[in-house]
């Protein structure tokens, strides 16, 4: 039996926990069902505390746990006032506050708050639904259950990447600077392409993606924040085979309220959608969950932006919400699609007969290579968290570290090098001038052959939108590898409207 406990009003946060009471449980007892599903219960068949919440039960009973029961395919809950659950049904609990007394005339008209997730969606999360002993005349078909997505896959986990794209259809709310689909081809980097509201793109893979053990590919977006409070934008995912067969990945959400333009969500409320992972990490996908046969392969992945106003539904029929509306870079921001299980190549059309021939490839080299200059960053997001009021009450302040820049110089002439950075204005609910961001460079490490001098500190209020030097290596002392970091300081006016704000810092070495 699937059991849902919604802790929203109990002091346990916005979490909803789902468990399963196995066959053989005493279904005539609420307490027995909850305990068998893995919940810690204090009290009798009408418990006062579940998993420690509420911390202090109300002795006046003006708030308490309410019980609901419905069939596994139902999309709404029915109040249950007597202990015990019919085998095969779904049990739901939520904490109600400000409940009228039993003898209060208002009690019969009081509306009790059921769990936010529907019974059908809870069963889809839990696994195979139990049979409904009293099915509706027209029972609903339970939605497919998406597997949990990995959210910690880093770029170095992937052996190959998308080799091309097609059918880039940009949606509304995207400035021209973000409409470069080539940015999503090849390895993960700092560039991206924005799909816009309801936009889409198809990434192609010359070698294909095989349905092997575990997850087979991952999608990189650029969300930021924490697992419990993240700014995330989502896309539906479809795998496409060489013969054109499409395999849609099932999705599921427990988020039931709209998300404003700059609001955050919890990662745990979403499954089966691209964009659940934070920036720098990929959301992993297993082709098995989309119905691709074991050992089968696909040659393309299509991403369709989710218009987060609730008009797009998940596989269980629940509305999907993400930050809406967007401006300038609205919708899904695609950085790359990496392959974990590559195929053996896309077969060429033919009649089955094969002929082979040999080709001798020749190349000449007229001069020896003189080396080069390379730059890499340890990450592409510097999250300063939430700005707080300064002690003197004059500014909203936040601090953080800039990703470490690694400069590798193999040029034989050893001319030295200069590392620079420039920032843009912060965009969000309004525009904040880039001058609010200050930076203090530091040398993290350097080879003995490299002499590196950090650039000057730039205070917040001055900013570096016109550019600043992070570090320099003089002629004759630049060959080798050096790592340069920096501290960031953000000081914005106290009248700045609340919201999520983003600036882009461009790092250059020459």
Burial of 106 (0-12, 13-18, 19+ CB in 10 A): exposed
CA–CA dist 21, 448 (Å, integer): 64
Cα–Cα distance between 90 and 70 in angstroms, integer?
5
- Strand ranges in 155-248 using DSSP code E only, listed in sequence order: 160-161, 164-169, 193-194, 200-210, 217-220, 224-225, 230-231, 235-240, 246-248
225 strand-pairing partners: 230
Tokens of 242: 């060489």
412 within 8 A of 371, measured Cβ to Cβ: yes
HSE (CB half, 13 Å, CA atoms) of 260? 7
Tokens 């399963």 belong to residue: 20
Domains and CATH numbers, the chain: 2-126 (no CATH), 155-339 (2.60.120.260), 373-509 (2.60.40)
The distance of Cα 145 from the centroid of its chain, to the nearest Å, equals 19
Instruction: List alpha helices for 270-361, DSSP H.
Output: none
Closest CA to 439 of 470, 417, 407, 418: 470
* Tens-digit pLDDT profile for residues 354-363: 566 777 776 6
CA of residue 432 relative to chain centroid, distance: 26
pLDDT digits 0-9 by tens, 432-443: 999 999 999 999
Tokens linked to 265: 């969500």
Q: What is the DSSP string of 315-339?
A: TTSPEEE-S-S--SB-S-EE-EEEE
The reply to whether omega before 368 is within 30° of 0 (cis) is no
Mean of all residue pLDDT scores within the chain:
87
Q: How many CA atoms lie within 13 A of 388 on its CB side?
A: 4
Integer angstrom CA distances of residue 177 from 194, 337, 375, 388, 393: 9, 21, 23, 32, 37
Q: What is the maximum alpha-carbon separation in the chain?
A: 98
Nearest to residue 411, comparing CAs of 363, 355, 480? 480
- Tokens in use for 304? 């369709």
| One pLDDT digit (tens) per residue for the chain, 510 residues | 899 998 888 887 667 888 899 988 988 888 899 999 898 988 877 788 888 888 887 766 678 888 999 999 999 898 887 778 888 899 999 988 877 766 677 766 777 888 988 898 888 876 443 343 344 444 444 445 676 789 999 999 998 999 999 999 999 988 888 899 999 999 998 889 999 999 999 999 999 999 998 899 999 999 999 989 999 999 999 999 999 999 999 999 989 999 988 889 999 899 999 999 999 999 999 999 899 998 899 999 999 999 999 899 988 888 999 998 888 888 999 999 999 999 877 544 444 455 667 777 766 665 555 678 999 998 888 889 899 999 999 999 999 999 999 999 998 888 999 999 999 999 988 999 999 999 999 999 999 999 999 999 999 999 999 999 999 999 999 999 999 999 999 999 999 998 889 999 999 999
Model pTM score: 0.46
Q: What are phi and psi of 183, to 5 degrees?
A: -65, -20
237: tokens are 């995912």
Residue-by-residue DSSP string for 29-52: -HHHHHHHTT--EESSSS-SEETT
Alpha carbons 253 and 269: distance in angstroms, whole number = 5
């Amino acid at each position: 039996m699937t059991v849902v406990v919604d802790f929203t009003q109990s002091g346990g946060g916005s979490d909803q926990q789902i468990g399963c009471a196995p066959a053989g449980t005493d279904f005539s007892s609420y307490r027995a069902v909850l305990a068998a599903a893995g919940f810690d219960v204090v009290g009798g068949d009408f418990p006062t505390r579940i998993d420690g919440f509420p911390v202090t039960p109300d002795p006046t009973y003006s708030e308490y746990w309410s019980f609901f029961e419905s069939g596994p395919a139902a999309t709404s809950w029915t109040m249950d006032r007597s202990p015990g659950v019919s085998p095969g049904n779904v049990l739901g609990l939520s904490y109600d506050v400000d409940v009228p007394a039993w003898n209060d005339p208002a009690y019969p008209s009081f509306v009790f708050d059921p769990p936010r997730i529907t019974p059908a969606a809870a069963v889809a999360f839990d696994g195979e639904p139990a049979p409904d002993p009293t099915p509706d005349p027209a029972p609903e078909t339970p939605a497919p259950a998406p597997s949990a997505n990995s959210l910690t896959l880093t770029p170095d986990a992937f052996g190959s990447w998308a080799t091309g794209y097609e059918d880039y259809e940009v949606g509304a709310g995207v400035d021209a600077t973000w409409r470069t689909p080539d940015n999503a081809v090849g390895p993960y980097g700092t560039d991206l392409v924005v799909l816009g509201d309801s936009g889409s793109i198809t990434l192609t893979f010359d070698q294909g993606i095989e349905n092997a053990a575990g997850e087979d590919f991952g999608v990189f977006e650029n969300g930021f924040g924490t697992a419990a409070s993240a700014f995330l934008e989502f896309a539906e995912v479809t795998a496409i085979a060489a013969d054109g067969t499409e395999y849609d990945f099932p999705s599921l959400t427990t988020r039931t309220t709209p998300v404003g333009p700059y609001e955050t969500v919890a990662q745990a409320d979403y499954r089966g959608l691209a964009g659940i992972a934070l920036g720098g990490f990929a959301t992993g996908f297993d082709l098995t969950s989309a119905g691709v046969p074991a050992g089968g392969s696909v040659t393309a992945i299509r991403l369709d932006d989710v218009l987060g106003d609730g008009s797009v539904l998940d596989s269980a029929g629940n509305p999907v919400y993400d930050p809406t509306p967007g401006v300038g870079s609205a919708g899904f921001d695609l950085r790359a699609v990496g392959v974990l299980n590559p195929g053996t190549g896309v077969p060429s059309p033919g009649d089955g007969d094969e002929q082979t021939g040999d080709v001798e490839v020749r190349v000449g080299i007229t001069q020896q290579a003189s080396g080069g200059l390379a730059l890499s960053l340890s990450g592409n997001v510097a999250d300063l968290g939430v700005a707080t009021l300064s002690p003197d009450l004059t500014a909203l302040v936040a601090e953080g570290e800039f990703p470490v820049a690694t400069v590798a110089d193999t040029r034989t002439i050893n001319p030295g090098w200069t590392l620079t950075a420039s920032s843009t204005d912060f965009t969000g609910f309004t525009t904040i001038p880039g001058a609010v961001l200050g930076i203090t460079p530091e040398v993290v490490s350097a080879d003995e052959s490299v002499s590196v001098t950090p650039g000057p500190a730039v205070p917040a209020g001055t900013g570096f939108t016109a550019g600043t030097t992070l570090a320099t290596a003089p002629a004759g002392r630049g060959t080798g590898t050096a790592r340069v970091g920096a501290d960031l300081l953000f000081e914005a006016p106290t009248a700045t409207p609340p919201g999520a704000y983003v600036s882009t810092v461009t790092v250059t070495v020459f």
